[in-house]
């Protein structure tokens, strides 16, 4: 919308001036679409339901722990484990010279961008609609793939991060689809088990975005970046497998809602 089909072209000053507008337009996608479709399909009752799910906070402490700690613990564990092979994998918070700024940016971006604005669309609208027909695993996979595709444009714009020995055709799909569907499955599972708390889904997304910015290595590319992506993805899929086994092969607590009614 701002830079045209070829992205933002021009000087660094022009890019810096337009970046805020680009990110605002990008974040508006899921949130505006979710709000508009809620109004079109469900009217005032849909908005009331959306607000109710956003303010559903009386949930057991263990679910807050799952939502807030899953991603940061995995990011830290993967980074520290791989750092035994090379110091380039050390978490960013340990190598940056401005730890306060990184923490502030990561938490702010996670809460506002990833948590609040994106989840108004994904868990606010898309997930309940998908659960009318599908279980948790299928809903998580479908929404997770769409989630990854949605991030493709911003990842392509940040393509300098992915320069190195491997082409973008390998790195971008791995970055977007190796772990986002797995994490979305966990998000849908937590959403189902917490009485459909949109608030907790927002916090879980926020912890992922903040943890990624704060705890992943700051300057890796090429083979090192692909290694990190695949190891982190494998760790997330292992968690999905463990949760499935712990629930005797059934992630869904309740059957999908009757068709035509949104949770």
Return the domain boundaries, the chain.
26-246
Q: How far, in Å, are 70, 216, 224 from residue 203 at the CA level?
A: 11, 19, 29
- d(CA 77, CA 59) in angstroms, rounded, equals 27
- 8 Å CB contact between 186 and 239: yes
Residue 165 pLDDT level (bands cut at 50, 70, 90) = low
pLDDT recorded at residue 256 = 53
Amino acid 1: pLDDT: 47
- Strand residues in the chain grouped as ranges (E): none
pLDDT given for residue 141 in this prediction: 95
- For the segment 1-10, the average pLDDT, to the nearest whole number, is 53
Q: Which of 88-92, 179-183, 250-254 has the lowest mean pLDDT?
A: 250-254
Model pTM score: 0.88
- Chain length of the chain: 263
CA distances in angstroms from 213 to 105, 210, 263, listed in the order given: 8, 5, 32
Look at residue 8 and tell me whether its pLDDT is greater than 80. no
| pLDDT at position 9 over 80 | no
Q: d(Cα 171, Cα 263) in Å, to the nearest integer?
A: 37
- In angstroms, rounded to a whole number, what is the distance separating the alpha carbons of residues 188 and 174? 22
- Residue 218 is predicted with a pLDDT of 87
Q: 121 and 195 in contact (C-beta within 8 Å)?
A: no
Q: What does the pLDDT read at residue 206?
A: 96
pLDDT tops 60 at residue 179: yes
**Residue 263, pLDDT above cutoff 50:** no
- 49-84 residue pLDDT tens: 999 999 999 999 999 999 999 999 999 999 999 999
């Amino acid at each position: 919308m701002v830079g045209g089909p070829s992205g933002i072209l021009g000087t660094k000053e022009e890019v810096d001036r337009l970046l805020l507008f680009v990110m605002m337009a990008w974040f508006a996608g899921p949130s505006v679409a979710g709000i508009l479709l809620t109004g079109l399909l469900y009217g005032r009752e849909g908005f009331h339901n959306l607000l109710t799910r956003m303010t559903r906070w009386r949930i057991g402490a263990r679910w807050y722990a799952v939502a807030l700690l899953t991603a940061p613990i995995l990011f830290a564990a993967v980074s520290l484990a791989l750092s035994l092979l090379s110091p380039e994998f050390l978490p960013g918070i340990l190598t940056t010279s401005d730890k306060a700024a990184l923490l502030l940016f990561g938490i702010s971006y996670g809460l506002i961008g990833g948590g609040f604005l994106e989840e108004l669309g994904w868990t606010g609208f898309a997930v309940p609609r998908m659960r009318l027909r599908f279980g948790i695993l299928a809903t998580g996979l479908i929404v997770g793939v769409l989630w990854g595709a949605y991030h493709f444009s911003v990842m392509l714009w940040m393509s300098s991060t992915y320069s190195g020995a491997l082409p973008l055709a390998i790195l971008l799909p791995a970055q977007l689809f190796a772990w986002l569907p797995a994490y979305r499955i966990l998000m849908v599972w937590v959403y189902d088990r917490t009485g459909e708390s949109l608030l907790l889904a927002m916090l879980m997304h926020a912890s992922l975005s903040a943890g990624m910015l704060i705890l992943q290595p700051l300057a890796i590319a090429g083979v090192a970046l692909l290694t990190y992506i695949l190891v982190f993805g494998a760790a997330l899929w292992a968690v999905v497998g463990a949760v499935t086994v712990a629930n005797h092969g059934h992630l869904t607590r309740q059957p999908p809602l009757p068709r035509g009614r949104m949770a």
